[in-house]
Amino acid sequence: MATSKKTTRKATTARPSPTVQIAERSLAALAPLREPERAAFLAQTTPEDRAALGARTRADGVLRDLGPLIAHIDASVAKYGTTIRYGAPRRAFLAQTTLELADALATATGKRDGATSASAQRNAALRRGRAVFGDLAHALSSIARGSAEAARLDAVERDFDHEDTLARGLRQLAELARGWIERARTDEAARALVAGAHLTEADVTSAERAAEALLTAGADRVGSGRASANDPPEVNVLEGIVLAEAREAWRAFEAARSNHPSIPRLPLGTALRQVIGTRPKRAKPKPAAPKT
């Protein structure tokens, strides 16, 4: 008899969410879901249907709603038995896919947090780079004013919105600053101008470090990708599987309630209400164009 392999959950120091705890308890009390049963339940929806269903909600909201739903199903079935035509295999399928969704969301959240961290580092590097650029450019402007060096300063790249171009501009400023500091060692006029602007080797080092930080942040951003507030496709598919099964449970309860009103309705949270007991709005047909 083929059975589904139990999902091996990664050990974590964080306390499992209430929904995960409820789903694990529910699954532990049921016979293992067999592979033919899982395949049969999955065959009731298409991959496209699941993806579309999952795209209508956010996985974190769905998971919050699933805990009370599963607990209510287990308690009601224990009390009313087969009056509710939602058997143990389907309950195991709901609990198991809920845990799979929780794992997928945890993985996706880790990736998203990594992208968010890279984005924060990039923004910090840009802010620092702009500040260093402005300070050093002002100092060099006061030194080079009225000299041939002013044209070189004007030619420095001044795109402050991109890591690579701002880094190039900072390195160009660092090169100009280093040139003035070198000249000040032997030229009295240059020494006076450099001293008057408080230009030092520390300014050169600061510009070079800011440029390096920008290039590092840019590389990290490319590697980690852009953070997104939406669930990734692989999460949407699992989300759709769980939503379709939760909707099946809701139908079973509503059917049982038609003959036994004392059976309490399934609790539907905000996320579940978006797809259970409702139908997607269809676009109104456009009126036919008048015949000419």
pLDDT at 73 over 90: yes
Q: Dihedral of the CA atoms 111, 115, 120, 122 (nearest 10)?
A: 150
pLDDT at 258 over 70: yes
Residue 118: predicted pLDDT: 60
Instruction: Give, as one character, the DSSP assignment of residue 286.
Output: P
Which pLDDT band holds residue 120 (cuts at 50, 70, 90)? low
Domain residue spans of the chain: 18-115+232-273, 120-221
Neighbouring C-beta atoms of residue 145, cutoff 10 Å:
11
Q: How many residues does the chain have?
A: 292
pLDDT at 112 over 80: no
pLDDT at 14 over 70: no
Residue 288 main-chain phi, psi, to 5 deg: -65, 145
Find all residues with CB under 8 Å of 200, minimum gap 6, and list them: 181
Instruction: Give, as one character, the DSSP assignment of residue 83.
Output: G
Which whole-number Å values give the CA distances from 241 to 100, 203, 266, in the listed order? 10, 58, 18
Distance CA 261, CA 186 (A): 98
Least confident residue range of 5-19, 94-108, 247-261 = 5-19
**Secondary structure string (H, E, C) spanning 207-223:** HHHHHHHHHHHHHHHHH
Residue 13: predicted pLDDT: 38
The pTM of the whole model exceeds 0.95? no
Mind listing the pLDDT tens digit for each residue in 150-198?
Answer: 888 888 877 777 788 888 889 999 999 999 999 999 999 989 999 999 9
Distance CA 110, CA 108 (A): 5
Are the C-beta atoms of 127 and 217 separated by less than 8 Å?
no
pLDDT mean over 63-85: 96
Distance CA 181, CA 190 (A): 8
Distance CA 153, CA 240 (A): 58
**Mean model confidence pLDDT for the chain:** 82
Neighbouring C-beta atoms of residue 84, cutoff 10 Å:
19
127 by DSSP, 3-state: which?
A: helix
